[in-house]
Structure 1
Amino acid sequence: MAEAFKLGIVVPCYNEEEVLPETTKELTRILSGLVNDDKITNDSKIIFVDDGSKDKTWSMIDEFSQENNFVSGVKLSRNFGHQGALLAGVTSATKSSDAIVTIDADLQDDVNAIPKMVDKFIEGNEVVYGVRNNRDTDSAFKRSTAEGFYKFMGWLGVKLVPDSADFRLMSKRASEVLLSYKETNLFLRGIVPMVGFKSAKVYYARKERFAGTSKYPLRKMLKFAMDGITSFSIVPIKMIMGLGFFIVLISIALLIYTIVQKIHGNVVTGWSSMMISIWALGGVQLICISVIGEYVGKIFSEVKNRPRFTIERDIYTEKTLKEEK
């Protein structure tokens, strides 16, 4: 049997006071079972990352960490967003964990898939993706847009794992490689497959949110999708060039058509056609400028090289140092 290893479970949290007690209970149950099976060591930890919550999330994490040996936490100085919080947790966990699982706090991802991930890791896989086996819990709109997004990203040449989010296991080595990617515009679903190493998938049924409200409304989902597209492909800019050539060809065709009509004396002065052309071309130009502006904005964010997160307190490191003493 393989030697037991230290597991860290990173859980980003933003205003999760309603679900936190149940999440702690469920993850503690999973860790206890894995310890009893001699698969992980008893110093394995749940690392809750408080992403600038405005409710009692951090005080609850602090309290649970004193009552439960499995629980620790990382408090960020302000809200850095879901991806930044995930990366902060992985950064902290990688210091002393042999493998890291990332999972959201809302319990929509099935915690019972974690032991299966651990088994895949023991078999030699360094990245194990949690993949949904269906989208029955999604609305028709969300289901269709998600499927369309994955197909579009694939067409752009971006390697994503369809129906997988940020529920995954990574080895210490894979996590260190992930942390070596220094971009500010984070889209971890696209970065992780670039890490490489032997990988596997674990399928699970996604549940309804246990409590609280979604932290990803439509506006944030659209921004997240745009970040994914513009962070990994320049195809949209190439498409703009193609669109420009297409419009030029249309204009040449219309010019030839106009000359032919003039020769035959069929010229009709039309205000409507002129206005439609102006508005259509103006709209296309604004869209093109916006797409280019999105890329320029990304460059602007990257060159400033600001920190992707700031840790105010790290209970995980504090606990680890005490245990080592």
Structure 2
Amino acid sequence: MYGTHGTRGTHGPGSGSVALSVVVPVFDEEEVLPLLVARLRPVLDGGGEPYEVLAVDDGSTDATPRLLEELRTAWPELRVVTLRRNSGHQAALTAGLHRARGAHVISIDADLQDPPEVIPDMLALARADGLDVVYGVRGDRTADSPFKRRTAAVYYRLMRRLAGAHVPAHAGDFRLLSRPVVDTLKALPDQQQVYRLLIPWLGYPSGQITYRREERGAGTTKYPVRRMALLALDSVTSFSAVPLRLATAIGAVSLVVCLAFLAWALTVHATGNTVPGWTSLIITMLFFGAVQLFCLGMLGEYVARIHSAVQARPTYCVAHDTDEAQR
């Protein structure tokens, strides 16, 4: 069973009578799952509307799969979608969005840094103002480390400069989407979707709910520096050609420097003040070699994405969906 961008899942918008779907990507979260259920279920049960919770197991290697099955026995609204391998946070989120049945779909991480108690406020704002998107904005990030806060500020500043001011600052993957937005996302052919940039780009009416970002409920972060860097790279290359233009600009500056160095070398040679030595030659070679490698690397990154798009391989493969198993 496969899922790809541009193909619709097994559940259409009219299947079932679910008012709200909550998508939770999960990867090795055995420690925090009981805490998540203890806080999320009372919020959803208190809404008085039919709902479902899609826990997308992104190839967990700990006791998460067994724990999810145990939780399902006491929570009928919990639905488990299991991916065949670890495909990444955005791919797991995509799998959940593609299979969600609700008229509104909320995505939230399992680590409890984004409080589930905000969900009713997001839903109320969407209905009161007729909004298709409600972003959860982290107004207070004191629970994050200073390094995390600084890198996040740099990331959002860069994204707003490259992708446009419509990108909300400090809005992660905690958001509400209406059914039309979800259907639009399912129809897009993008292989690597970065939702925190893609959804604002769609231009649907949106609002914001500000909250205090909490400390992780339990366990360790699944987004180390390496994954943060990859997310930033995906964000830049998916929504801007600036790196290619930057490489062109660097090449132009390098040409000017080269011409200036050539003029200087001819002048020195004409005056007979040449000094034997390899220092200037080696420095020049290393400089232009580095520039060429940088430009090739930027070009290669875009070529790799074209290659991936041409292959059109699924971004995730579903091994099991408890909702389908019950049919």
TM-score w.r.t. length of structure 2: 0.90
- For structure 1, list consecutive stretches of 5 or more residues without a partner in the other structure: 36-40
* Bigger shift: residues 229-238 or 183-192: 183-192
In structure 1, how many angstroms separate the alpha carbons of the residues matched to 2:85 and 2:249? 42
* Aligned mate of 2:145, from 131, 139, 143: 139
Q: 1:51 Cα deviation (Å)?
A: 0.8
| C-alpha contact (below 8 Å) 2:247/2:294 kept by paired residues | no
Which structure exhibits the higher relative contact order, with contacts defined as CA atoms closer than 8 Å and separated by 6 or more residues?
2
Q: Deviations over 1:84-114 (max 9, x none)?
A: 1111111111xx3100000000101111211
Q: 1:125 Cα deviation (Å)?
A: 0.7
Give secondary structure in 2 for the equivalent of 1:132: strand
1:24 aligned partner, one-letter code: V
Q: Residues 139-218 of structure 1: matches in 2 within 5 Å?
A: 139-158=145-164, 159-218=166-225
Q: Residues 1-325 of structure 1: matches in 2 within 5 Å?
A: 6-35=19-48, 41=49, 43-93=50-100, 96-123=101-128, 124-158=130-164, 159-317=166-324
Identity %: 38
In structure 2, how many angstroms separate the alpha carbons of the residues matched to 1:216 and 1:152? 19
| C-alpha contact (below 8 Å) 1:154/1:160 kept by paired residues | yes
In structure 2, how many angstroms separate the alpha carbons of the residues matched to 1:153 and 1:202? 20
In structure 1, how many angstroms separate the alpha carbons of the residues matched to 2:121 and 2:324? 27
Give secondary structure in 1 for the equivalent of 2:226: helix
Q: Deviations over 1:124-150 (max 9, x none)?
A: 111000000022122222222221122
In structure 2, how many angstroms separate the alpha carbons of the residues matched to 1:9 and 1:172? 13
> Given the superposition, is the C-alpha separation of residues 317 and 167 from structure 1 closer, same or farther in structure 2, using an over 3 Å criterion?
farther
1:30 aligned partner, one-letter code: V
Q: 1:318 Cα deviation (Å)?
A: 5.2
| C-alpha contact (below 8 Å) 1:92/1:316 kept by paired residues | no
* Bigger shift: residues 280-289 or 137-146: 137-146
| C-alpha contact (below 8 Å) 1:47/1:316 kept by paired residues | no
Give secondary structure in 1 for the equivalent of 2:47: helix
In structure 2, how many angstroms separate the alpha carbons of the residues matched to 1:317 and 1:309? 17
Give secondary structure in 2 for the equivalent of 1:133: strand
Q: Deviations over 1:248-274 (max 9, x none)?
A: 111112222223333333322342121
Give secondary structure in 1 for the equivalent of 2:192: coil
In structure 2, how many angstroms separate the alpha carbons of the residues matched to 1:13 and 1:160? 26
In structure 2, how many angstroms separate the alpha carbons of the residues matched to 1:71 and 1:214? 24
| C-alpha contact (below 8 Å) 1:13/1:53 kept by paired residues | yes
Q: 1:65 Cα deviation (Å)?
A: 1.7
CA root-mean-square deviation: 1.7
In structure 2, how many angstroms separate the alpha carbons of the residues matched to 1:24 and 1:152? 35
Q: 1:317 Cα deviation (Å)?
A: 4.7
Q: How many residues are matched?
A: 309
Which stretches of structure 1, 4 residues or more, deviate above 6 A after TM superposition? none
Q: Deviations over 1:146-167 (max 9, x none)?
A: 2112222222235532101100
Give secondary structure in 1 for the equivalent of 2:316: coil
